[in-house]
Structure 1
Amino acid sequence: MRILVVGRGGREHAIVWALAKSAKITKIYCAPGNAGIAEFAENVPIQEDQFEELAQFALDHVVDLVVVGPEDPLFAGIVDVLESHRIPVFGPRKNAAIIEGSKVFTKDLMKKYSIPTAAYESFTDYESAHAYLREQSLPIVIKADGLAAGKGVTVASTWEEAETALRDIMVQKSFGDAGNSVVIEECLTGQEMSILAFVDGEVVRPMVPAQDHKPVYDNDRGPNTGGMGTYSPVPHIPQSIVDEAIATILKPTAKAMVAEGRPFRGVLYAGLMITPDGPKTIEFNCRFGDPETQVVLPRLETELVDIFLATVNGRLQDMEISWTDEAAVCVVLASGGYPGPYEKGMPISGLNDVRESIVFHAGTAEKDGQIVTNGGRLLGVTALGADLAEARAKAYEDVERIVYEGRHYRTDIGKKAFDLSQQG
């Protein structure tokens, strides 16, 4: 089999790494890829938004399956374009990718089908939104409606913070057209958890749960990022709660999308809050999470390509998917200054000294035979262990072996879960 993976980040590196383990696959291409992906795949200089060029490449190289990693091309309709050329593709069509592309659509869907989520209102004009905001209590959550690279959400604990966020989205247009509408919702409290699932219409096959760390600094301080690290399993959240979330959120959402004439096929990602009233939905994404993928796929025992093909061919209901009992921890290494401005082109050393971990590249490039920094989140250092403590220790040992100017990472990835599970 010949496979083309679309994307350039740590998530795509993890997908390529997992696919490369299969003897069924003879060739993997990645467009455009990154410096780390080049170890397993041939990088192709085609951008994620060049749909016709990607289709032509797939046809010319007799590609058997295209796997789309990022959300932007999914929401823009890459699957529809590829399918129009009769190219098999893993990922939701445009009308289903709206579940991530529009928060207003998704909140309205959950309200219509009684899927647990936070109370909310949505607005298209600033004055109405501001008037509503002043009637609410703090803390409050303010979300740009459209895609904002994971950065269009503010959890405001002061009125100044709330009003600034609303003004940035709707007046300053900090996120462009993504801020044409805004969702203002109650702030849920509890433990966060991510559950990703392979979905084909009403068939839902959940993956093992994970927990992300969004804020840039230790102890969940500082601005939110795309994710500074993650771990799986989530030992302090009982399996009964995971099962409840699947039964009351993921499966009803898949059925709701079919009922709405938007059948979902691909990976449905539920960002959840485990509240005193049970699991509630924070958000849905229409693709693998980043960096959740970097801990979920290393725990997968079933061949990933078999799951992709079963989903695309309508056979997901026949799949038996198995997972290892090992724990996985991923620590993200970022550029100094991220998520704000940062410099690029800093040489990265020590990658060959890593002993126990898989290093997934994200914002890296190769220059004159040297791996250099080329983004905000650079590397995801993932280790497996018999339990969370062992995986965490291995990951941090290897993190210390990687050096570059401005190196930044959180030192507490997984610590909360480890501490809470020891208490419980």
Structure 2
Amino acid sequence: MVIIWEKPFKLGGTIGDIEGMPFVEAFRQFQFKAKRENFCNIHVSLVPQPNATGEQKTKPTQNSVRALRGLGLSPDLIVCRSAKPIEMAVKEKISMFCHVEPEQVIFIHDVSSTYRVPILLEEQGIIKYFKQRLNLPIDDQPSDLLMKWKKMACRYERLLKVCSIALVGKYTKLSDCYASVFKALEHSALAINYKLDLMYIDSTELEHSTEAENSVKYHQAWHKLCKADGILVPGGFGIRGTEGKLQAISWARTKKKPFLGVCLGMQLAVVEFARNCLNWEDANSTEFDPDTKNPVVIDMPEHNPGDMGGTMRLGKRRTVFKTENSVLRKLYGDETFVEERHRHRYEVNPELTDCFEEKGLKFVGHDTEGNRMEIIELENHPYFVGVQFHPEFSSRPMKPSPPYLGLLLAATGTLNAYLQRGCKLSPSDSYSDLSDDSSPEKDFPYSDTS
């Protein structure tokens, strides 16, 4: 187990409130139960460089290490963050006053992309250190995976083509709320040799009420939506902003813009289709209107409506494809089922699905019992897909999430060619410069915990 501590300290200020962290004592005790050969403590500290002197200051690191040791935890590695590369004299000073060997002090300065950080770590011997410290079965020679990663980092900095995706949500003022979604989109864009232009759109600004209150915001939001190459509606809770999301979904469906709906995004795609294609004007989710006459999205049957305590469906679950003629099935490598992580308490009403399928909205993925609708696809559309699960949680830099990859492929006009090649990237847009494979690695060694 590797424990990473990161605590900011202001130059000339106090040590801070690390003493108030209740988990510090838990880890102090845990290190003895886990034994030293199974426990590695990494302390991350800022090395500031004030403009007045230009000197890199080590006091914050010294103070934070001292505070941590006073609480019974000694760092095995000290990772120093800085704006510019740290001088060797600074490394030796930290080593001396923090009582660690020089090779236990690692420097991470600002780099062109986060993909450069693992390379910096490897160059300073962190893999060799872990091998010795934790007795890990790692080869001394750089692995093929590391070489591919280095080439991928270089490729990321050479991207010229741009693909714009509109993310329509209600937490857009706090973009970290969609961090996993952003990364999944970025992984997919990188896989096809595109730079991602992610445009955050507050869904409330697409609503007619905003047009009356602030027409400038309304028209700016719609301008961004209209110029986007693809549209994504992510998960969320609560009624605020749902009408704006429905407007965005309707635009994607009628204008044949590539669309991906995740969790609530899929549920709202069903609501929008019911209202505008089945003419069920009051169709809704019972989350927003418990008395709707057409409850196309309902509380999960095993839960009591209105009871929010411990009622979410969580963790990795299996989704079974019900047809071979499914875009998403092909994107998943023609698997008969997939396992993805869930986080929801509402789902599509299974009693009404026949009405949707007669009009072209197909429920191509169900749970193992066939009662829960997991994946939707719209016929005669470049890419109109909704998933009840959260595929962004399992996306990785060299293994992009298939639903997100499909959205980027459709947004760049390359989805059909990709499918016709048996889901292999073209030589010009593939990972062929990174590996011997012509498609993103299917067996990339990442675990997915629920």
TM-score scaled to structure 1, two decimals?
0.34
Higher Rg: 2
TM-score scaled to structure 2, two decimals?
0.33
Structure number with higher strand proportion: 1
- Higher RCO (CA-CA < 8 Å; seq separation 6+): 1
Structure number with higher helix proportion: 2
